[in-house]
């Protein structure tokens, strides 16, 4: 039952692996100050929490995630979403604090317990599921995947953890195949996706690809969820025992490594911009208070919706819409999406320079 991954190192895969190595060395050589490092690190953590839970259906926006984690505030009617956010953040913190420890099945079980723990710092490692788990399409209820039966899960997980520690492959590939195999085994009734992504990040950290905690793979997945699920679905049969265990995972490996290269490139871009930032204090002070407040939001996200403007200023819907309209007329914002109910805005180019 030993885990023997089936994949081929294609030219596409080899090119992306080389790009990761180059980016890793480039970031390592950047003169990042402690202040800049902390800022980039906090931003990456918030992105990881937001996007990994968003993949699973969490409804909180990135500003709301920050509100819950940093301001200890609540979002009315979103108790379950808040619990997921706090759980993932706590698991991410624990993972970073335990990078130096040997990876064991208890590590995996503890990560899962924290993911599901709603922010608790002390949890008991979660035992694997004791029954069958079925993944269905949320739209029509059709069966998407039937994981291995519960009695087979413990041995499969033991083999996976042992393989992670002994595999003679580049670390990014080990991380890619770890993600795939964990999702394939689906050892829990719930929380498998979030735990898989955390375990993947832990493998990268332990293998020297932690990049100071500045990257977020989850952002890449969330950007195009159908592509993420298509990449994971490497075999046409829904039953684990009908070819899923030995399926060719080359396409998934290519997808994962491309995402990792994309995440590392973003770290280089953001770090370089932060290092080369000019003192914009005088220009910032000349902006009206409302513009300064909105500008601070754009430091963390590319697009802002009218709904988010309501929450920033605690305005009503009409007041927020009028403010956005005024800021567009003044040339401070540009319209990113024309839809009335979900209208979104970008910062005008000349004001984006103030964020550099």
* CATH for 338: 1.10.10.10
pLDDT at 279 over 50: no
Residue with tokens 């025992």: 241
| 58/152 same-domain check | yes
Q: Are residues 225 and 319 in the same domain?
A: no
CB atoms within 10 A of CB 260: 26
**120 and 217 co-located in one domain:** yes
Confidence (pLDDT) at 283: 62
* Final residue of a structural domain among 257, 275, 293: 275
Domains identified in the chain, total number: 2
Q: How far apart are CA 80 and CA 58, in angstroms?
A: 9
| pLDDT over 80 (residue 227) | yes
The yes-or-no verdict on residue 278 having pLDDT over 90 is: no
Residue 19 domain flag: no
Based on the domain organization, do 256 and 290 belong to the same domain? no
Kindly report, residue by residue over 210-225, the tens digit of the pLDDT: 998 999 999 999 999 9
Is the same domain home to 183 and 311? no
Separation between Cα atoms, residue 153 and residue 155, nearest integer Å? 6
Is the pLDDT confidence value at 340 over 80?
no
pLDDT band at 315 (very low <50, low <70, confident <90, very high): confident
Q: Which residue range(s) make up the domain with 234?
A: 31-275
Q: How confident is the model at residue 116 (pLDDT cuts 50, 70, 90)?
A: very high
pLDDT at 208: 94
Among 232, 260, 275, the domain boundary falls at 275
Q: Judge if 42 and 59 occupy the same domain.
A: yes
Structural contact between residues 214 and 267, judged by C-beta atoms closer than 8 angstroms: yes
The separation between CA 339 and the C-alpha centre of its own chain, rounded to angstroms, equals 27
17 occurs within a structural domain: no
Q: Of residues 107 and 315, which shows the higher confidence score?
A: 107
Residue 26 lies in a domain: no
159 and 292 housed in the same domain = no
- Residue 10 pLDDT: 96
Rounded mean pLDDT, 224-230:
91
User: Looking at per-residue confidence, does 150 or 57 come out higher?
Assistant: 150
CA distance 356 to 274: 6
Confidence at residue 244, expressed as pLDDT on a 0 to 100 scale: 86
My answer on whether 195 and 209 are in the same domain is yes
Whether 63 and 107 share a structural domain = yes
Pair (254, 325) in one structural domain = no
Grouping H, G, I as helix, E, B as strand and the rest as coil, residue 6 is strand
Q: Which residue has the higher pLDDT, 66 or 167?
A: 167
Give 299's pLDDT tier (boundaries 50, 70, 90): confident
Tokens 């005008």 belong to 348
CATH number at residue 112: 1.10.3290.10
At 165, list the tokens. 């520690």
Give the CA distances from residue 325 to residues 220, 298, 309, 332, in Å, rounded to whole numbers and listed in that order. 31, 17, 12, 10
Q: Are residues 56 and 98 in the same domain?
A: yes
228 with 259, same domain? yes
Kindly state whether residue 109 falls inside one of the protein's structural domains. yes
Is there a domain that residue 351 lies in? Answer: yes
pLDDT digits (tens, 9 = 90+) for 125-176: 999 999 999 988 777 778 889 999 999 999 999 999 999 999 999 999 999 9
Q: Percentage of the chain with pLDDT > 90?
A: 55
Q: CA distances (Å), 150 to each of 129, 185, 226, in order?
A: 6, 10, 28
Q: Is there a domain that residue 21 lies in?
A: no
User: Could you tell me which residues come within 8 angstroms of residue 355 by beta carbon, excluding any fewer than 6 positions away?
Assistant: 295, 298, 299, 347
pTM for this prediction:
0.76
Q: Determine, yes or no, domain membership for 3.
A: no
Whole-number pLDDT of residue 351: 84
Mean pLDDT for 296-312 is: 83
The pLDDT value given to residue 110: 97
Q: Is residue 92 part of a domain?
A: yes
220-254: b (≥16 Cβ within 10 Å) or e: bbbeeeeebeebbbbbeebebeeebbebebbbbbb
Q: Please state, rounded to an integer, the average pLDDT across all residues of the chain.
A: 89
Domain boundary among the residues 275, 305, 322 is at 275
């Amino acid at each position: 039952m030993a885990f023997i991954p089936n994949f081929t190192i294609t030219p596409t895969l080899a090119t992306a692996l080389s790009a990761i190595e180059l980016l890793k060395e480039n970031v390592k050589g950047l003169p990042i100050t402690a202040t800049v490092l902390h800022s980039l690190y906090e931003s990456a953590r918030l992105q990881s929490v937001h996007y990994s839970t968003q993949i699973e259906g969490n409804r909180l926006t990135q500003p709301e995630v920050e509100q819950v984690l940093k301001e200890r505030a609540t979002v009315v009617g979103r108790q379950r979403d808040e619990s997921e956010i706090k759980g993932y953040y706590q698991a991410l913190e624990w993972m970073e604090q335990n990078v130096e420890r040997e990876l064991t099945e208890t590590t995996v079980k503890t990560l899962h317990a924290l993911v599901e723990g709603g922010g608790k710092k002390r949890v008991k490692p979660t035992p694997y599921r004791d029954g069958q788990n079925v993944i269905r399409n949320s739209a029509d209820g059709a069966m998407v995947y039937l994981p291995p039966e519960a009695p087979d899960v413990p041995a499969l997980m033991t083999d996976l953890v042992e393989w992670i520690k002994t595999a003679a492959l580049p670390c990014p590939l080990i991380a890619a195949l770890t993600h795939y195999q964990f999702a394939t085994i689906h050892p829990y009734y719930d929380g498998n996706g979030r735990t898989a992504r955390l375990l993947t990040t832990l493998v990268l950290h332990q293998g020297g690809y932690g990049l100071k905690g500045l990257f977020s793979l989850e952002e890449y997945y969330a950007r195009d969820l159908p592509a993420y699920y298509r990449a994971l679905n490497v075999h046409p049969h829904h039953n684990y025992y009908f070819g899923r265990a030995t399926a060719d995972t080359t396409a998934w490996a290519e997808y994962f490594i491309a995402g990792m290269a994309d995440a590392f490139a973003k770290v280089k871009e953001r770090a370089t911009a932060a290092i080369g930032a000019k003192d914009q204090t005088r220009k910032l002070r000349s902006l009206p208070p409302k513009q300064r407040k909105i500008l601070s939001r754009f430091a963390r996200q590319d697009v802002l919706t009218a709904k988010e403007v309501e929450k920033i200023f605690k305005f009503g819907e009409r007041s927020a819409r009028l403010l956005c309209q005024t800021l567009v007329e003044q040339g401070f914002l540009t319209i990113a999406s024309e839809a009335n109910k979900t209208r979104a805005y970008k910062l005008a180019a000349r004001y984006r320079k103030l964020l550099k």
